[in-house]
Structure 1
Amino acid sequence: MGKRYSRRQFLMDGTVAGFGALLLKGCGVSTPSDTASESPAASSGLKAAIVLPGVITDKAWNQAGYAGLEAIKAQLGAETAYVEKVGQAEQVEVLSDFARRGFNLIYAHGGQFDAAIQQVAPQFPQSFFIGVNGAASGTNIASLRIDHLQASYLCGILAAEMSKSKKLAYLAGQEFQATQEELRGFELGAKSIDPSIEVSSSFTGDWNDAAKAKEAAEALISTGADVIYQWLDNAAPTVLQAAADRGIYAFGNTADQLDVAPKAVLTSAVKRIDLAIAKLADLAKNKALKGEVYSLGLKEPTILYLGKFNPAVPQPLQDKVKQTADAIVADKLTFETCTEAGKATRCVKGAA
């Protein structure tokens, strides 16, 4: 049977061809219809939703999050819904709305949602909130992290070996724990090859603004950086193409992005966050999900790994990077909590 909503228009899974999910008009996402058919009761009793900061067609972070939701639907028979393009001001309202509508597993797709999760979760104990890339935890709060540092360490080695200027750069949308750890790993990997190498960083404040990303990339290149490790969403192709146009190297992120700029991309830090999202949903279905931080790294080879290598990367260097990855998986090379310059961080212990 159909159901009509007034202030917000919800399009539930399986109701409108080409969408099959929830769109929230109140967050500036247009809807093609004012009517919505309710999906059949989920066989698993699981109702999962995801709140996304960007669009599901970005071929990066947000698309991977949406793919995770689709996996939950396909594998666990859950009723699923999503909302995209949620800004900082709408986070609390959107998370609360999903909880009020009976969704018992709610993903907030990005570390920038941590404060909103911590505000909303205590009000809705019947729902479990998962901050993807977050750092929050609580009775009904879990954080799901990819160990970005492990992959960026490998990329740092590769960047240092391929750089001629010995100046590298890191470019991301926002500065929070996950991006700081990724930057740290990139620095550690590079300095394991050459302690004198320089690594600069820049944060655009927007994961999807291509103009800001291009401007930031050009500024980094103008300082002499000849390898850029980027973590952006819709804006990523702009940075990769800028690198190609200027004759320097870059790294893909989240998806295997070698094909986006074949001349520039050395390899990609592939993060199958979709599989990680589905993994935690399976725990929830089996009532095994806990209020803690779940960190998945190279020991989960289907979730975190390096993508295709550029033919410009010599085979001995590819072998060296792979050998280092094997050492991390075998715990011969680990990253322990330490203090540096008065701040908590992670340091390398052991050797490849």
Structure 2
Amino acid sequence: MSETGKVGIIAAYEWQPEVEGFYDGAMFENKDMKVDIRFVGHWDEQKKALDVLNEILDEGADVIYPAGDGYNVPVIERVKDRGLYIIGYVSDQSDFGESTVLTSTVQHVDDLYELTAEKFNNGELKSGNLSYDFQDGVISLGKFSPKVDSKFRERVGTFINSYKETGNLPNQ
């Protein structure tokens, strides 16, 4: 959906897997895409996130992924005012405007809690940092904007289904 060939991610922290996923996805779609990655250093530092957003927008990005649940809504509102695009974060954020929110990465935290409790009860919960994904049913994409071509939606759905089955991304 980028017309400028420049997209941006405003992430809270470098360790977020969303950062690499967004970058890889953008480069998979267009090897010449310019991906501006910036870090806020906190989940809900709204002022810093909006300052970073202004810099990214001034440099020509027209699709933004605000990967911080304490500042994603103000970022969406500012991008909406500029008539550009957003990928929502944490929940399906299409209700902020179907002409702005192309889709969202949805974290099903309630399902993650149930999965974790089940693993604990079965003696299968390992210690340490654990990662869960589409295959575990705790991550999905939200509703697509009507602006997103139906063939592209189908293509993304095919990639997700393949990833769930094989664990391999389309760029691997």
State the TM-score, normalizing by the size of structure 1: 0.46
Q: Report 1:238-277 matches (<5 A).
A: 238-277=74-113
Q: What residue identity is the alignment partner of 2:13?
A: Q
The answer to whether 1:172 aligns with 2:11 is: yes
C-alpha distance in structure 1 between counterparts of 2:98 and 2:78, whole Å = 12
Q: Following TM superposition, by how much is the alpha carbon of 1:206 offset from its aligned partner in structure 2, in angstroms? A: 2.6
Unaligned runs of 5+ in 1: 1-161, 336-346
CA RMSD, Structure 1 to Structure 2 (Å): 1.9
Runs of 4+ in 1 over 6 A off after TM superposition: none
Q: Deviations over 1:43-70 (max 9, x none)?
A: xxxxxxxxxxxxxxxxxxxxxxxxxxxx
Name the structure 2 match of 1:118: none
Structure (1 or 2) with the larger CA radius of gyration: 1
> In percent, how many aligned pairs have the same letter?
29
Equivalent residue, structure 2, for 1:46: none
Greater strand content? 1
Paired with 1:320 and 1:288, the residues of 2 have a C-alpha distance of 35
Q: How does 1:53-92 map to 2 (within 5 A)?
A: none
Amino acid at match of 1:319: E
Q: Which residue matches 2:143?
A: 308
The residue matched to 1:269 in structure 2 has which SS? strand
> What amino acid maps onto 2:134 in structure 1?
L
Q: Is the 8 A contact 1:241 1:261 kept in 2?
A: no
The answer to whether 1:326 aligns with 2:165 is no
Q: Which amino acid aligns with 2:141?
A: L
- Is 2:46 the partner of 1:210? yes
1:317 corresponding residue in structure 2:
152
Q: Contact 2:13/2:41 (CA < 8 Å) preserved in 1?
A: yes
Match of 1:230 in 2: 66
State the SS of the aligned residue for 2:55: helix
Shift of 1:287: 3.2
Query: Secondary structure, in 3 states, of the residue corresponding to 2:22?
Result: helix
Distance in 1 (alpha carbons) for counterparts of 2:7 and 2:123: 45
- Report Cα offsets for 1:2-51 as digits up to 9, x if no partner: xxxxxxxxxxxxxxxxxxxxxxxxxxxxxxxxxxxxxxxxxxxxxxxxxx
Alignment counterpart, residue 193 of structure 1, candidates 6, 25, 29: 29
Choose which of 108, 133, 143 in structure 2 pairs with 1:297.
Answer: 133
Give the deviation of 1:286 after TM superposition. Answer: 3.5
Aligned length: 172
| Separation in structure 1 between the aligned mates of residue 46 and residue 62 of structure 2, nearest angstrom | 20
Q: Can you give the 5+ residue segments of structure 2 that lack an aligned partner in the other structure?
A: none
Q: Structure 1, residues 60-92: CA drift from partner, whole Å, max 9, x if none?
A: xxxxxxxxxxxxxxxxxxxxxxxxxxxxxxxxx
Distance apart, 1:285 and its partner CA: 2.9
Secondary structure of residue in 2 paired with 1:334: coil
Name the aligned partner's letter for residue 174 of structure 1. Answer: Y
Deviation at 1:294, TM superposition (A): 3.4
Please identify which structure carries the higher helix content. Answer: 2
- Asked if 2 retains the 8 angstrom alpha-carbon contact of 1:240 and 1:261, the reply is no
Compute the displacement of 1:292 (Å): 4.8
So what's the TM-score if we normalise by structure 2? 0.90
Where does residue 106 of structure 1 map in the other structure? Answer: none
Q: Which amino acid aligns with 2:2?
A: S
Question: 2:43 aligns to what SS in structure 1?
Answer: coil
